[in-house]
């Protein structure tokens, strides 16, 4: 009961923020890195201005789901084909970010002012689901992004108010698999539009095709320092190293983070193995952290402060899922291959932990 009351308080606070025009912004950033041996590692940050109270959950094979349909009806029903793990929010049994046992991984990212869901009044109830249920459906049903792409024409993500929050959450979705494919799925004009994503990168609004076009503004960026410039008989040298990336946008907007994420993914030296790439992904994702106080949704007194609440990293080749939180920065692992994936019931793993700095051992 205490957990339910806490969840309702959070949702009411989010709704109140929307009512006064304060956006509880999500500045999420996601990307994929590839090891020299072909292993793929996905990472994403979760930024929100209210406490999400996320836990790790494990969904077993054959777990039964019933989605939310229009006008109080039940929506699409399905059983999990693949066991899945990831993080939820507000104690709900659905995933905000996760990975299944076959290495399909992905997340929900905020998509304000652009999400155009199907009209509930015209949608077929038995094929409908709420925006917050799509990722769970995709990860528990499919092994590759190609399978998801082929199936989305059979479902409708409908415009529904999230219970207790009094608004329709605007989402789009990023998906990646162990074959090397990536996909962005966005609700546009009432339909789900799939974009193949060769960059493996996604942030927030605007739409994915706009972000790709915006990369044309940065074609001169390079990781190499430029040579001196001869101008009017003078030699002009860069002021410091790092001049190759001069002009790389450093602000927190979604377009700037998209460009930065592409720059990192394209320039880092691929490690040999998946384990090494997990560490590299952690290092790269740190560049998108938002500390408490650096960003707020409004200048209004008492406006909520956005911060990076957690970061996830998924080893798609070995089905290992990692998480670190704002108050516990050490990576913690869920190894799907070591778990019982058939016992019934969704299992919850609390993320709270005392933060203790270990001492270095002396020889």
- Residue 160 is classified by DSSP as -
Task: Provide the pLDDT for residue 304.
Answer: 83
Which tokens sit at 317? 């080749």
pLDDT along the chain (363 residues), means of 10: 39 41 68 97 94 95 98 96 96 95 98 97 97 98 98 97 86 97 98 98 98 96 92 94 91 97 97 98 97 82 88 98 94 96 96 79 81
Rg (CA), the chain: 21
Q: 2-349, which class in CATH?
A: alpha beta
Cis omega before residue 206 (within 30°)? yes
Q: Where are the domains of the chain?
A: 2-349
Contact 297, 25 (CB under 8 A): yes
Contact 38, 270 (CB under 8 A): no
Kindly report the pTM of this predicted structure: 0.91
Contact 55, 91 (CB under 8 A): yes
- Residue 161 is classified by DSSP as P
Nearest residue to 205 (alpha-carbon basis) of 108, 113, 134, 285: 113
CB half-sphere exposure, 192, CA atoms < 13 A = 27
Which tokens sit at 12? 């009411």
For residue 140, give the H/E element and its range.
Answer: helix 134-141
Which tokens sit at 17? 């923020």
Other Cβ atoms less than 10 A from the Cβ of 357: the count is 6
Angle 148-343-127 from CA coordinates, rounded to 5°: 30
Task: Provide the pLDDT for residue 26.
Answer: 65
How far apart are alpha carbons 348 and 351 in whole angstroms?
Answer: 9
What are the start-end ranges of the H helices in the chain? 2-19, 134-141, 145-151, 208-214, 254-267, 274-285
Angle 287-292-296 from CA coordinates, rounded to 5°: 100
Which tokens sit at 345? 């019931």
Contact 58, 67 (CB under 8 A): no
Contact 97, 45 (CB under 8 A): no
Contact 178, 189 (CB under 8 A): no
Which tokens sit at 163? 């219970």
Contact 146, 181 (CB under 8 A): yes
């Amino acid at each position: 009961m205490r957990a339910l009351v806490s969840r309702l308080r959070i949702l009411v606070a989010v709704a109140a923020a929307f009512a006064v025009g304060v956006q509880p912004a999500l500045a999420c950033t996601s990307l994929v890195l590839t090891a020299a041996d072909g292993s793929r590692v996905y990472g994403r940050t979760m930024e929100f201005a209210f406490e999400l109270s996320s836990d790790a959950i494990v969904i077993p094979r054959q777990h039964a789901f019933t989605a939310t349909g229009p006008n109080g009806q039940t929506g699409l029903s399905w059983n999990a084909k693949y066991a899945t793990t990831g993080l939820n929010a507000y104690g709900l049994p659905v995933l905000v970010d996760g990975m299944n046992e076959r290495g399909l991984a992905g997340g929900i990212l905020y998509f304000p002012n652009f999400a155009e869901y199907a009209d509930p009044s015209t949608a077929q109830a038995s094929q409908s689901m709420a925006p917050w249920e799509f990722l769970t459906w995709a990860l528990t049903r499919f092994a590759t992004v190609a399978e998801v792409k082929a199936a989305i024409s059979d479902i409708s993500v409908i415009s529904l108010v999230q219970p207790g929050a009094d608004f329709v959450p605007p989402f789009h979705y990023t998906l990646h698999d162990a074959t090397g494919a990536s996909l962005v799925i966005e609700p546009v004009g009432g339909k789900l539009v799939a974009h193949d994503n060769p960059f493996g990168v996604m942030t927030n609004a605007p739409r994915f095709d706009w972000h790709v076009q915006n990369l044309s503004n940065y074609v001169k960026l390079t990781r190499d320092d430029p040579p001196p410039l001869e101008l009017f008989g003078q030699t002009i040298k860069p002021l410091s190293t790092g001049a190759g990336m001069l002009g790389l946008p450093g602000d927190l907007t979604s377009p700037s983070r998209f460009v930065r994420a592409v720059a990192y993914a394209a320039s880092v030296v691929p490690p040999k193995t998946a384990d090494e790439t997990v560490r590299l992904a952690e290092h790269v994702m740190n560049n998108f952290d938002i500390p408490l106080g650096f960003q707020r949704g409004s200048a209004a007194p008492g406006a909520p402060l956005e911060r990076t609440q957690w970061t996830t990293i998924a080893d798609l080749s070995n089905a290992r899922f990692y998480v670190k939180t704002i108050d516990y920065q050490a990576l913690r692992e869920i190894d799907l291959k070591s778990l019982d994936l058939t016992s019934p019931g969704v299992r919850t793993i609390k993320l709270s932990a005392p933060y203790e700095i270990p001492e270095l051992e002396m020889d």
